[in-house]
Amino acid sequence: MSIGHTLLGLLESGPRHGYDLKRAFDEKFGHDRPLHYGQVYATMSRLLKNGLVEVDGVETDGGPERKRYAITDAGITDVAAWLAQPEKPEPYLQSTLYTKVVLALLTGRDAADLLDAQRSEHLRLMRILTDRKRQGDLADQLICDHALFHLEADLRWLELTSARLGRLAEVVAP
Amino acid sequence: MTPAGSLLEAHDLRKTYGPTPALDGASFSVHPGEVVAVMGPSGSGKSTLLHCLAGIITPDSGTVTYGGRELSAMSDAERSALRRSDFGFVFQFGQLVPELTCVENVALPLRLNGVKRKQAERTALEWMERLEVEDLAAQRPGEVSGGQGQRVAVARALAPSPKVVFADEPTGALDSLNGERVMELLTESARTAGTAVVLVTHEARVAAYADRDVVVRDGRSRDPEYAV
Ligand SMILES: Nc1ncnc2c1ncn2[C@@H]1O[C@H](COP(=O)(O)OP(=O)(O)OP(=O)(O)O)[C@@H](O)[C@H]1O
Ligand SMILES: [Mg+2]
């Protein structure tokens, strides 16, 4: 995910301090991985250098100085361009799972066991996410669903591959 | 050794139709209040296993034990009585009685268990509320959508407070959103009521609503609950 674009987008509703930005980000997008202050600080200096944000005021009430950032017109254009640009679909052609299956077949190990173990692990995670979804709000549900659909796609591949192991063995280990 | 404290368990089931074995050494167990998903490829024997567990068909060999009693030792009449009193069923297509209204459909298993009409329909309505279909009480199954009909079917399965609900692809005919909602309502209601659920599905996202899963391949299943 582009942290820069996300922080910029959060600034569109009005100027904020770095700390505010981090909090808004963590609350909306940070579920498992809250931002470090260092990340916010580094990102904001880059955006500042590129003219996408400007400093809207500095406070120094006793403690360290706190900058308030505002988005610039160039920043708004940048957010719009990012949102309009489709993401590149990730084809996962370099799958570790595929490599493991082929290697198991090449070395005479049990590829079916490997697939079964992976299947259990995927389903275990899917149960955890489903449980979280059940207890969460709509935002949690959407995030969990995204992960669940991807895990399901992996699982379908695991099923299909285990049904084709015999043929795959003939091809890779003649 | 059999799994301790299980409500329903099957050991080494075999069932052959003509030359093809549908079950070839399948084992299974479910505890009270537990939701277990039965997964596996098409034709692997999932439905056959479910039908054996529910006493709908008799395996050629192996044992099915419910609450400590072996199903094969019961008479046909005893098995039907058990199915009526202790089991509930949901199938891929609701299988509601088209001539009855939805509330009459939900009340039907209660009526068959001897509950008076008024009381049966009152209980039926409570379950329809829980499944969010109380507005459909007076409609006939032909007049409701697939997703709504499936919720009515879930209400019908749960209304008599069964000990076990058997569900064979209960979301098979539904889109993701309706399928998920039916699973949410089914598992939530079952957990609240302490009902065990045997859930046959080939969809991982549906199986993820269960507490654990048992995989059937070529008529064989290994239930990890069985210590060999
Ligand atoms: N009544 C029957 N008569 C003859 N063969 C049957 C009968 N019921 C099942 N079979 C066979 O037994 C095997 C297992 O069938 P079963 O219906 O249990 O599979 P399943 O796992 O439920 O498949 P699906 O996911 O397609 O529903 C299949 O080969 C099937 O053709
Ligand atoms: Mg089936």
Strands, E assignment, A5-146:
16-17, 53-59, 66-71
Cβ contact, residue pair A130, B205, below 8 Å? yes
| Ordered DSSP codes for B157-191 | HHTT--SEEEEESTTTTS-HHHHHHHHHHHHHHHH
User: A100 and A148: one domain?
Assistant: yes
pLDDT tens for residues A18-32? 999 999 999 888 777
Tell me if B221 CB under 6 Å of ligand 1: no
Question: Does A27 map to a domain?
Answer: yes
Mean pLDDT by groups of 10 residues along chain B of 228 residues = 80 93 94 95 93 95 94 92 94 87 96 94 95 95 91 94 95 86 90 94 94 92 61
User: A110 and A154: one domain?
Assistant: yes
The whole-angstrom separation of Cα B59 and Cα B15 is 5
- Under the banding of pLDDT at 50, 70 and 90, the label for residue A1 is low
The pLDDT value given to residue A124? 95
- Is ipTM strictly over 0.90? no
CB B217 within 8 A of CB A119: no
User: A66 and A118: one domain?
Assistant: no
If you ran DSSP here, which 8-state letter would residue B226 be given? S
CB B11 within 8 A of CB B62: yes
Cβ contact, residue pair A148, B210, below 8 Å? no
pLDDT tens for residues A80-131? 999 988 888 777 766 888 889 998 998 888 899 899 999 999 999 999 999 9
Beta-strand relationship, B35-39 and B212-217 = parallel
Q: Atom 18 (ligand 1): residue with closest C-alpha? A: B45
Question: Does A53 map to a domain?
Answer: yes
If you ran DSSP here, which 8-state letter would residue B139 be given? S
Q: Atom 3 (ligand 1): residue with closest C-alpha? A: B17
- Domain tally for chain A? 2
If you ran DSSP here, which 8-state letter would residue A32 be given? T
Tell me if B53 CB under 6 Å of ligand 1: no
> What's the CATH code of the domain at A21?
1.10.10.10
**In chain A, which residue's Cα lies nearest the Cα of B177?**
A145
User: A48 and A71: one domain?
Assistant: yes
User: A76 and A125: one domain?
Assistant: no
Which of B184, B188, B213 has its CB closest to that of A123?
B213
Question: CB of A112 within 8 Å of any CB in chain B?
Answer: no
Question: Does A89 map to a domain?
Answer: no
Q: What is the arrangement of strands in the sheet containing B196-200, beginning at the earlier edge strand?
A: B69-70, B61-66, B8-17, B20-30, B220-221, B212-217, B35-39, B196-200, B164-168, B87-90
CB B133 within 8 A of CB B155: yes
Cβ contact, residue pair B208, A148, below 8 Å? yes
Radius of gyration of chain B from Cα atoms? Answer: 17
The whole-angstrom separation of Cα B98 and Cα B92 is 16
Question: Does A146 map to a domain?
Answer: yes
Question: Does A90 map to a domain?
Answer: no
User: A59 and A102: one domain?
Assistant: no
User: A160 and A124: one domain?
Assistant: yes
Helices (H) and strands (E) in chain A, counts: 8, 3
Question: Does A101 map to a domain?
Answer: yes
Distance A110 CA to ligand 1 centre (A): 28
User: A19 and A73: one domain?
Assistant: yes
The whole-angstrom separation of Cα B140 and Cα B144 is 7
HSE toward the beta carbon, residue A79, CA cutoff 13 A: 19
**Ligand 1 closest atom vs CA B200:** 22
From A84, A117, A142, the end of a domain falls on: A84
User: A75 and A102: one domain?
Assistant: no
Would you tell me how many other CB atoms lie within 10 Å of the CB of residue A67?
17
Question: Does A116 map to a domain?
Answer: yes
3-state secondary structure of B214: strand
From A84, A107, A139, the end of a domain falls on: A84
The pLDDT value given to residue B225? 63
Tell me if B41 CB under 6 Å of ligand 1: no
Residue in B36, B38, B182, B205 to test binding to A, most A beta-carbons within 10 Å: B205
Would you tell me how many other CB atoms lie within 10 Å of the CB of residue A92?
13
**Inter-CA distances, A153 with A126, A165, B205, Å:** 12, 18, 10
CB B173 within 8 A of CB B150: yes
Range of the domain at A128: 96-172
User: A73 and A143: one domain?
Assistant: no
User: A109 and A152: one domain?
Assistant: yes
Residues forming a β-bridge with A123 = none
**In chain A, which residue's Cα lies nearest the Cα of B208?**
A127
The whole-angstrom separation of Cα B96 and Cα B190 is 20
User: A45 and A13: one domain?
Assistant: yes
The pLDDT value given to residue B228? 38
Question: Does A117 map to a domain?
Answer: yes
Residue B31, both tokens: 């505890």
The pLDDT value given to residue A87? 83
Residue A32, both tokens: 């498992």
Distance B176 CA to ligand 1 centre (A): 25
Radius of gyration of chain A from Cα atoms? Answer: 23
The whole-angstrom separation of Cα B223 and Cα B49 is 13
From A84, A106, A132, the end of a domain falls on: A84
Q: Model's pTM, two decimal places?
A: 0.85
The pLDDT value given to residue A93? 63
pLDDT value at A39 more than 50: yes
The pLDDT value given to residue B24? 94
Taking alpha carbons only, the member of B169, B188, B152 closest to residue B37 is B169
